Amino acid sequence: MTYSPRYRLFPTTEQREALDWTRDTVRQLYNHALSEFNDIPENAGTLRQRVWQIRDTIPDLKEWWSDLNNVYSTVLQKAVERIRDNINNLGKLKDAGYNVGSLNWKAPREFRSFTYRQSGFELDKKSGPNGRGILTLKKLNGENREIPIRLHRDLPDHDSVREVTLKKEPTGAWYVSFCIETDQPDKPDVDTIETEDCVGLDFGVLNFIYDSDGRSVSRLDLSSDRKRLQREQHSLSRKEHGSNNWEKQRQRVAEVHARMSNKKRDFKHKLAHFYTTEYDAVFVEDLNVKGMLESQQNARNKAEVGWRDFISILEHHGEKNGCHIVQVPPEGTTKECARCGVESKKPLWVREHSCPSCGFTLDRDFNASLNVLSRGLDELGVVHSEVTPVETAAAVDTLEVSASRVVETGSPCLKEAAVGG
């Protein structure tokens, strides 16, 4: 499987200027290539052939565009090939029902990365203090540059690094991603999976996750970050656009955004790692998040929590850790009784499920997670045992886990066993 761990770079002022110069030169080449690509008729060949036609003109461009001689060759080739990748990505969005347009010219602030492919870089993990290394980049503004890198974790086992992508964040910080190929573990055979090794996840309104084993994970509290973001944005609005003070304040706003994004990403990755390493199969609702955001109720909170983003992260960890990730239809999981299957309508403010038919009483989200588990077992084809998920869960009390504990200490805090009832 393709894996791209990301690390922080610490370039000097001179190295930062060289990175910015290379990034802007690559951006100009991309804009030039896009202009040339738009002039080529569609019947002149396939998408790849038309892009390759432009890529083959790079040696001729170097004769009159001298700046290109100071950029590594694979970086220039990858910049032109990005046109093909972007068009393919737009096609995927169009197939998914999105209204997409065409590729546009990139302004300096919109083009933030460039890529070395297969060669032109070298990573020395032994230079510097513990947890630090040196990333050497060839022909970075005409010179070889040795940039310090923080190796906060080891690279997974791999044969070779396919690509190295350097990206400048809106905060001004530089990061590097190593694209590598790792062995993908085999997922367990469905016939060997036990129901105890499966879990159903319900995405709640009050809690981020409620699982079928009785765990309740609260949502991240970002209220203090939102207040700070409001103050920084208010201060930005009072600065003259484009001035030095405006640029400094823009970076402060970007740092708050980055802090919030890092918190949410870290929280989701830790949860996904826990569930995909503790279970053989994880079942989630196939939510129509786009339709939910278009509704009039709680749209901002639904967008901020990022359910669809968490599902994508969960699928990534499922591939990495050999765990089945199955999405099930979400319709009726809240209304349907997990014991007898009778549906009963209840408004959002009613947080307890009480079946009028069999008298089964349980937390609303707990009941929904049991329904997700039952549907997931049927979808995956796991043989049900005589003990139903409802009978198992009835003897288990809820284990409430604070989101701050997940962020601060990591997912192992979820392993605390629920107390038997």
Determine which of 3-17, 68-82, 399-413 has the lowest per-residue pLDDT on average: 399-413
Say if residue 175 is in the same domain as residue 149. yes
Say if residue 205 is in the same domain as residue 139. no
Average pLDDT over residues 281-299: 68
Q: Could you tell me the pLDDT band of residue 420, with boundaries at 50, 70 and 90?
A: very low
User: What are the C-alpha distances in Å from 191 to residues 197, 208, 280, 386, 390?
Assistant: 12, 31, 12, 16, 22
- Look at 67 and 335; give whichever has higher pLDDT: 67
Say if residue 20 is in the same domain as residue 143. yes
Q: Are 181 and 171 in contact (CB under 8 A)?
A: no
- Would you state the structure tokens that stand for residue 368, as one six-digit string? 């929904």
Question: 157 — phi, psi (to 5°)?
Answer: -60, 135
Residue 242: inside a domain: no
Instruction: Provide the residue range defining the domain that includes 87.
Output: 2-181
Strands 215-218 and 399-401: parallel
Of the candidates 171, 46, 26, 34, the one whose C-alpha atom is nearest the C-alpha of residue 102 is: 34
- Look at 235 and 296; give whichever has higher pLDDT: 235
Average pLDDT over residues 92-102: 85
Say if residue 150 is in the same domain as residue 209. no
If you average pLDDT over each of 2-6, 252-256, 335-339, 407-411, which comes out highest? 252-256
pLDDT higher than 60, residue 214: yes
On average, the pLDDT of the chain sits at 85
Q: Which amino acid is at 213?
A: D
| pLDDT > 70 in the chain, percent | 86
State the pLDDT at residue 401.
76
Residue 37: inside a domain: yes
Q: Are 195 and 382 in contact (CB under 8 A)?
A: yes
Say if residue 264 is in the same domain as residue 401. yes
Task: Say how many CA atoms lie within 13 Å of 414 toward its Cβ.
Answer: 26
Say if residue 175 is in the same domain as residue 196. no
State the pLDDT at residue 301.
58
Residue 243: inside a domain: no
- Look at 127 and 227; give whichever has higher pLDDT: 227
Say if residue 293 is in the same domain as residue 410. yes
Average pLDDT over residues 29-57: 92
- Would you state the structure tokens that stand for residue 244, as one six-digit string? 């030095």
Average pLDDT over residues 90-119: 89
State the pLDDT at residue 121.
92
Determine which of 41-50, 58-67, 70-79, 359-368 has the lowest per-residue pLDDT on average: 359-368
pLDDT higher than 90, residue 136: yes
Say if residue 138 is in the same domain as residue 42. yes
Q: Are 98 and 90 in contact (CB under 8 A)?
A: no
pLDDT higher than 80, residue 346: no
> Of 181, 209, 237, which residue is a domain's last?
181
pLDDT higher than 80, residue 192: yes
Say if residue 162 is in the same domain as residue 205. no
Taking the C-alpha atoms of residue 35 and residue 9, their distance in angstroms, rounded to an integer, is 33
DSSP for 46-63 reads -HHHHHHHHHTTHHHHHH
> Of 115, 150, 181, which residue is a domain's last?
181
DSSP for 150-191 reads E-SSPPPS-S-EEEEEEEE-TTS-EEEEEEEE-PPPPPPPGG
Average pLDDT over residues 393-409: 68
State the pLDDT at residue 283.
92
pLDDT higher than 80, residue 413: no
State the pLDDT at residue 419.
45
Taking the C-alpha atoms of residue 217 and residue 210, their distance in angstroms, rounded to an integer, is 6
- Look at 293 and 233; give whichever has higher pLDDT: 233
Residue 251: inside a domain: no
State the pLDDT at residue 169.
93
Residue 85: inside a domain: yes
State the pLDDT at residue 255.
93
Residue 235: inside a domain: no
Give the burial string for 369-399 (b: 16+ CB within 10 Å, else e).
bbbbbbbbbeebebeeeeebbbebbeebebb
* Domain count across the chain: 2
Average pLDDT over residues 253-274: 91
Say if residue 121 is in the same domain as residue 100. yes
Q: Could you tell me the pLDDT band of residue 259, with boundaries at 50, 70 and 90?
A: very high
Taking the C-alpha atoms of residue 290 and residue 293, their distance in angstroms, rounded to an integer, is 5
- Look at 298 and 11; give whichever has higher pLDDT: 11
Taking the C-alpha atoms of residue 210 and residue 165, their distance in angstroms, rounded to an integer, is 37
- Helical segments of 243-341, H only: 244-278, 289-293, 299-305, 307-321
Residue 291: inside a domain: yes
> Of 150, 181, 212, which residue is a domain's last?
181
Find the length of the chain: 421
Q: Are 364 and 353 in contact (CB under 8 A)?
A: yes
Residue with tokens 């192992």: 412
State the pLDDT at residue 418.
47
Say if residue 167 is in the same domain as residue 292. no
Taking the C-alpha atoms of residue 3 and residue 136, their distance in angstroms, rounded to an integer, is 21
Q: Which amino acid is at 140?
A: L
Say if residue 319 is in the same domain as residue 403. yes
